[in-house]
Amino acid sequence: MPEGVADLAALLEPRLDDILALAASLTEVESGSYVPAGVDRVSSLVAEQLAPLGFTASTHSIGPDRGQAFEATLETGRPGLRVLVLGHADTVWPAGATADWPVVTDRPVMSGPGLGDMKCALAMAVHAIAAALETGVPGVASITYALVPDEELGSVGSRDWLADLGRRTDVCLALEAGQVDGGVIVSRGAVGAMIITARGRTAHSTDENGASAVAALAPLVAGLEALTDRSRRTICTVGILRGGTARQVVPDHAELHLDLRAPDDAAGEALVAEVRRLAEAGAGAGVTVEISGGITRPALPRTVTDPVYALAEELAFGAGLALRRIDEMGGSDASLVGQLAPLALDGLGPTAFDQCSRAETVLRDSVVPRTALLAALIAQAGRLAVHLPDREEGR
């Protein structure tokens, strides 16, 4: 019979040093998205930990100059749900980041490049799986641990593989960082990226025959950013506006890069359409405008997460562990898998702050309870079978 969170926490507490030693080893591997050897080394270290548990590992190429997509699966030999534990092996940090930023795991507030996003969570997941298997996983047919190699780049090369994972998954438990006071992520909005490119005609500044690409795009900034309505969780921001080669030359090329956020897929597509409408107005005499991009990550709706959150809340309550719902505007791979997997929950990593910045930290005292919660969800995932709809291809 699966244990509760309190029992699993008691089982895991003596293993905290082992969890953190693995977390440190993973963090010391520099695995920026553009360091494929480091990304693959992280996956190899995880594979080494899973092999004694009976997992069979495989890797999948996603393209040149990128690490390999990784998955390891344990078949229990019993009927039941297919559980996916989902993380990513890459970080935002370039090679050399550990030279002046040592990994610290022996203090209440731990630190290191990528420790919060998400090397500590990767180590926790290994031990959560082991603990769940020790106590029993009735109603679970398989457990797959998967690592995306290019999440920080938008998982562009991993899309087809992630879609395939979604089709093979009943419950996805994703390892993005948890938030204070027991926050787990029950929804994510749609995320988009667009580039508006203007092409004009170059000339000396004294020549009236020039057509400025910069002049075509610059007036668009105010109108595009006016699409932001934070009360409706809709954001459109210009992150880059660039063009020109010299002060006395009329620029014939300019680019404007946009970040888009919306509460759901329909709102995201409406925002993209409005951006296109405004951008097309930038074309004029001697200037053409090209628009690329759109929604890059779909929303993760509460309809997918509510049953898993309810189980997590029940398990946590029995151990006196508070949980709370977080509606997150940022995207993750749970959104991509959640298009096809009927059930998911995100934010099951440790409590972390300031990910993707030099201030990135993890609370040490969150590691055991959050690992125990993940272990309990894996062990008792079979209880979610009542919430599984008929699988529809392309849901």
Residue 393 maps to a domain: no
Domain boundary among 263, 297, 331: 297
* Residue 390, pLDDT above cutoff 80: no
Query: What is the pLDDT averaged over residues 34-45?
Result: 97
Smallest CA-to-CA distance from 328 within 228, 193, 186 is with 186
Same domain, residue pair 354 and 331: yes
Q: Give the residue-averaged pLDDT of 76-84.
A: 97
For residue 23, pLDDT beyond 70? yes
Mean predicted confidence (pLDDT) in 63-86:
97
CATH number at residue 316: 3.40.630.10
CATH (domain of 288): 3.30.70.360
| Cβ(149)–Cβ(89) below 8 Å | yes
The last residue of a domain, from among 234, 265, 297: 297
- Say if 394 falls within a structural domain: no
pLDDT of residue 394: 39
Q: What is the pLDDT of residue 2?
A: 61
State whether 168 and 71 are in the same domain.
Answer: yes
pLDDT for residue 340 is more than 50: yes
Q: Compare 221 and 393 and report the one with higher pLDDT.
A: 221
Asked if 32 and 94 touch (Cβ cutoff 8 Å), the reply is yes
Is 288 within the bounds of a domain? yes
Give domain status of residue 242, yes or no: yes
The C-alpha atoms of residue 73 and residue 87 are separated, in whole angstroms, by 14
Q: Do 60 and 202 sit in the same domain of this protein? A: no
Percentage of residues of the chain with pLDDT beyond 70: 98
Shared domain for 287 and 316, answered yes or no, is no
Give dist(CA 94, CA 38) in Å, integer: 10
Give the count of domains, the chain.
2
Are 214 and 271 part of one and the same domain? Answer: yes
- The pLDDT value recorded for residue 322 is 87
Give the mean pLDDT of 142-167: 96
216 and 331 belong to one structural domain: no
User: How sure is the predictor about 393, in pLDDT bands with cuts at 50, 70 and 90?
Assistant: very low
Structure tokens at 257: 């890069």
Q: How confident is the model at residue 65 (pLDDT cuts 50, 70, 90)?
A: very high
| Mean predicted confidence (pLDDT) in 130-156 | 96
Of 164-168, 185-189, 281-285, the range with the lowest mean pLDDT is 281-285
Q: Has residue 395 been placed in a domain? A: no
The range of the structural domain enclosing residue 43 comes to 5-188+300-387
Q: Which two tokens stand for residue 198?
A: 């203007």
Q: What is the 3-state secondary structure (H, E, C) of the chain?
A: CCCCHHHHHHHHHHHHHHHHHHHHHHHHCCCECCCHHHHHHHHHHHHHHHHHHCCEEEEECCCCCCCCEEEEEEECCCCCEEEEEEEECCECCCCCHHHCCCCECCCCEEECCCHHHHHHHHHHHHHHHHHHHHHCCCCEEEEEEEEECCHHHCCCCCHHHHHHHHHCCCEEEECCCEEHHHEEEEEECEEEEEEEEEECECEECCCCCCECHHHHHCCHHHHHHCCCEHHHCEEEEEEEEEECCCCCEECCEEEEEEEEEECCHHHHHHHHHHHHHHHHCCCECCEEEEEEEEEEECCECHHHHHHHHHHHHHHHHHCCCCCEEEEECCCCHHHHHCCCCCEEEECCCCEEECCCCCCCEEEHHHHHHHHHHHHHHHHCHHHHHHHCCCCCCCC
> Structure tokens of 205?
């500044």
Same domain? 253 vs 181: no
Asked if residue 260 is part of any domain, the answer here is yes
| Mean predicted confidence (pLDDT) in 369-393 | 88
Question: Does 391 have pLDDT greater than 90?
Answer: no
Asked whether residue 153 falls in the same domain as residue 206, the answer is no
Average pLDDT over residues 272-290: 94
Indicate whether 357 belongs to any domain. yes
Domain boundary among 297, 320, 341: 297
- Region 70-75 average pLDDT: 98
pLDDT mean over 347-359: 93
175-212 pLDDT, tens digit each: 999 999 999 999 999 999 999 999 999 999 999 999 99
Residue 214 and residue 133 share a domain: no
Task: Kindly state whether residue 34 falls inside one of the protein's structural domains.
Answer: yes
Q: Which amino acid is at 242?
A: R
Same domain, yes or no: 319 and 171:
yes
Please tell me whether residues 52 and 180 are part of one structural domain.
yes
Tell me the average pLDDT of the chain.
95
User: Domain check: are 142 and 24 in the same one?
Assistant: yes
